[in-house]
Amino acid sequence: MEAKLNELKQRLYEVADLNSAGSVLHWDMSTYMPPGGAPARGRALATLGRLSHEKFTAPEVGHLLDALRPYEESLPYDHDDAALIRVTRRDYEREVKVPADLVSRIGEHTAMLYNKWTEARPANDFAGLAADLEETRQLSIALAECFPGYTHIADPLIGFSDYGMTAETVRAVFAELRQQLVPIVRAINAQPEIDDSALHQHYPEGQQLGFGLDVIRDYGYDFNRGRQDKTHHPFMTRFAWGDCRITTRVKEDDLGDALFSTLHEAGHAMYEQGTAEAYDGTPLGGGTSAGIHESQSRTWENQVGRSRGFWQHYYPALQAVFPEQLGSVSEHAFYRAINKVKPSLIRTDADEVTYNLHVMIRFDLELQLLEGTLAVKDLPEAWNARYQSDLGVVAPDNRDGVLQDVHWYGGLIGGAFQGYTLGNLFAAQFFEAAQQAHPAIPAEIGQGKFGTLHGWLQDNIYQHGSKFTAAELVQRVTGGPLRVDPLIAYIKAKYGEIYAL
């Protein structure tokens, strides 16, 4: 059995090498690649994606998984070898259903469209992308159709990102959340608006980046195995256990943008850096789902980075970096400014309370696009109508409307967004559990100490990589399934205090 397991691992390492190379090419495409590199880069990504797919879905992998089944069944469920065989089989049985040619076409198309989007968004040119987005829609449907038996066409795509979830289960969670959120948003909107003009002075890029790097070093992000670069759209990418990078973007008239995106992406990266090194190069090496991943980024961005205690510790340091801008702004005023709740246009800039309404809009539009009940050409109008009805705001142009997120232009339609809100729910539920285990965590955050929280996340979530599904993990860690009420309780407590509700 050991020989077969080793043979399986060798095959998985080869696949991981190809995927890692693809990730480096993607990262470079988003950070440093000159425009002229785009066509060849798209082809190279398509080739790497196809080869990785071919290697992973080779019949020999299936034979090895069959041969290893008795061994797997002889082991406890949470034994590493059992998990490796189980998770590899799950991924194998999924990927084997997808033709290599489709993988290649998706890789090449999405790389091409990503590069177009980086120019089309500043130019406010949705029309110039519409035909390509329609192609993305058709490729997304073609991929979903590789998995007959779904209830909703989006189900396979949702399952890729958030294993075990479907359009129906996500809709049910979102409906419950929306029902509880909307009255809170209304109540906050009835209160006087917070003045956050202090955040919109001139903040030079270099100092902004320097402060963010200092904080995430304190968090425990390991720069020996990571780094930060600039991109159009912030992201985290894992090349290997030893190289988990983050990116950000800087707006010199908005102090919050780069800072909170840095804390956010560092949360993603600490999750990846914390996975067991022994899992590297296998399907266990890496976060288990989009929702769980997002819970880790949101924890460090919000539960920690937007907390009162955090700023009791860090605000003097931030004032020292920006004495002219913040010298006369009180910590209290600053804390309120970064937690201002106001329906707005940009998801990534949204406050914690209205954020999930942005996600729900995208999720619903994805389903409609895939169903064919919404045409790509009508997407901007539908987008604006939903922003009007759900948030009471309308973008002056598509740049800050339907073109704002990279997801549909750099990947598939379907499964791209639900993880953000699932992540907020998981984050609140996990943070509640962490505080129950270690009541001192909030006080430690107030001293700029993150070791207890980081250690708890490491032990309970990070180290497991993809060993457990999201549902298994939340059950193990919190003793029950995903719940909406921890997020609502967190929001009510925090914003009830801020807005004196």
User: What are the φ and ψ backbone dihedral angles of 327, each rounded to 5 degrees?
Assistant: -55, -35
Shortest Å, Cβ 258 to a copy of itself: 19
Element (H or E) spanning 245, and its range?
Answer: strand 243-248
φ, ψ dihedrals at 175, nearest 5°: -65, -45
Q: In this complex, which beta carbon is closest to a copy of itself, that of residue 75 or of residue 213?
A: 213
* Closer residue to a copy of itself (CB): 44 or 326: 44
58 lines the binding site for a copy of itself (CB under 8 A): no
DSSP H helices, 339-469, are: 355-371, 379-386, 407-410, 418-437, 441-445, 451-460
Residue of 355, 421, 473, 404 whose CA lies nearest to 169:
421
Binding residue for a copy of itself, selected from 20, 88, 247, 356, defined by CB under 8 A? 20
> 348-352, long-range: CB within 8 Å, 24+ apart, which pairs?
348/234, 348/257, 348/261, 348/404, 348/405, 349/254, 349/256, 349/257, 352/302, 352/306, 352/424, 352/491, 352/494, 352/495
Give me the least distance between CB of 452 and a copy of itself, in Å please: 25
> Smallest distance from the beta carbon of 285 to a copy of itself, in angstroms?
10
Phi, psi for 422 (deg, rounded to 5): -55, -40
Give the footprint of a copy of itself on residues 311-370 (CB under 8 A). Answer: none
For a copy of itself, how many residues bind (rule: CB under 8 A)? Answer: 41
- All residues at 6 or more sequence positions from 305 whose CB lies less than 8 Å from its CB, including other chains: 215, 259, 260, 263
Touching a copy of itself, residues 205-224 (CB under 8 A) = 222-224
Q: Which of residues 249-308 bind a copy of itself (CB under 8 A)?
A: 280-281
CA distance 237 to 244: 6
> Interacting stretch for a copy of itself, rule CB under 8 A, among 47-55, 113-121, 159-167, 337-345?
47-55
Q: Are 149 and 156 in contact (CB under 8 A)?
A: no
Cα separation of 86 and 75, whole Å?
11
Instruction: Kindly write out the interface string for residues 168-207 of this chain, putting x where it contacts a copy of itself by CB under 8 A and - elsewhere.
Output: ----------------------------------------
Token readout for 8 is 């399986």
State phi, psi for 241 to the nearest 5 degrees: -55, -35
Tokens representing 353 are 């309370």
CB of 55 to a copy of itself, least distance (A): 9
Shorter beta-carbon distance to a copy of itself: residue 219 or 431: 219
Of 8, 12, 41, 311, the one binding a copy of itself (CB under 8 A) is 41
Pick between residue 224 and residue 373 the one whose CB is nearest to a copy of itself.
224
Per CB under 8 A, 9 contacts a copy of itself = no
Helix (H, G, I), strand (E, B) or coil at 1: coil
Q: Which of 232, 277, 248 is nearest to 116 (CA)?
A: 232
Strands 236-240 and 228-230, sheet pairing:
unpaired
For residue 400, the tally of other CB atoms under 10 A from its CB is 18
Provide, rounded to whole angstroms, the least separation between the CB of residue 15 and a copy of itself.
Answer: 9
Q: Work out whether 36 is an interface residue with a copy of itself (CB under 8 A).
A: yes
At closest approach, how far in Å is the CB of 349 from a copy of itself?
A: 28
Q: Does 85 bind a copy of itself (CB under 8 A)?
A: no
Residue 13, interface with a copy of itself (CB under 8 A)? yes
| Closest distance to a copy of itself from the beta carbon of 329 (Å) | 32
Scanning the structure block, which residue is given the tokens 């691992």? 9
Nearer to a copy of itself, 13 or 315 (CB): 13
374 and 361 Cβ atoms separated by less than 8 Å: no
Continuous segment of H or E residues that includes residue 127? helix 127-144
Stretch that binds a copy of itself, among 18-26, 88-96, 134-142, 379-387 (CB under 8 A): 18-26
Instruction: Figure out which of the listed residues 1, 28, 138, 191 binds a copy of itself, where binding follows CB under 8 A.
Output: 28
Instruction: Kindly report each contact of residues 453-460 with a partner whose C-beta sits within 8 Å and lies 24 or more positions away, as own/partner.
Output: 453/304, 454/219, 454/220, 454/270, 457/270, 457/271, 457/274, 457/296, 457/299, 457/430, 458/274, 460/430, 460/433, 460/434
The only residue of 8, 12, 51, 157 in contact with a copy of itself, by rule CB under 8 A? 51
**Cβ closer to a copy of itself: 57 or 140?**
57
Annotated catalytic residue, options 72, 108, 265, 272? 265
Contact between 231 and a copy of itself (CB under 8 A)? no
Which of 156, 159, 220, 226 is close enough to bind a copy of itself by CB under 8 A?
Answer: 226
265 is catalytic: yes
Nearer to a copy of itself, 41 or 53 (CB): 41
Is 37 a residue that touches a copy of itself (CB under 8 A)?
yes
CA 259 – CA 256 distance, rounded (Å):
5
- Binding residue for a copy of itself, selected from 40, 172, 443, 501, defined by CB under 8 A: 40
Binding mask 102-121 for a copy of itself (x = CB under 8 A): --------------------
| Interface residue list for a copy of itself (CB under 8 A) | 13-14, 17-18, 20-22, 24-25, 28, 32-41, 43-44, 46-48, 51, 222-227, 229, 239-243, 245, 280-281
Active-site amino acid positions = 265
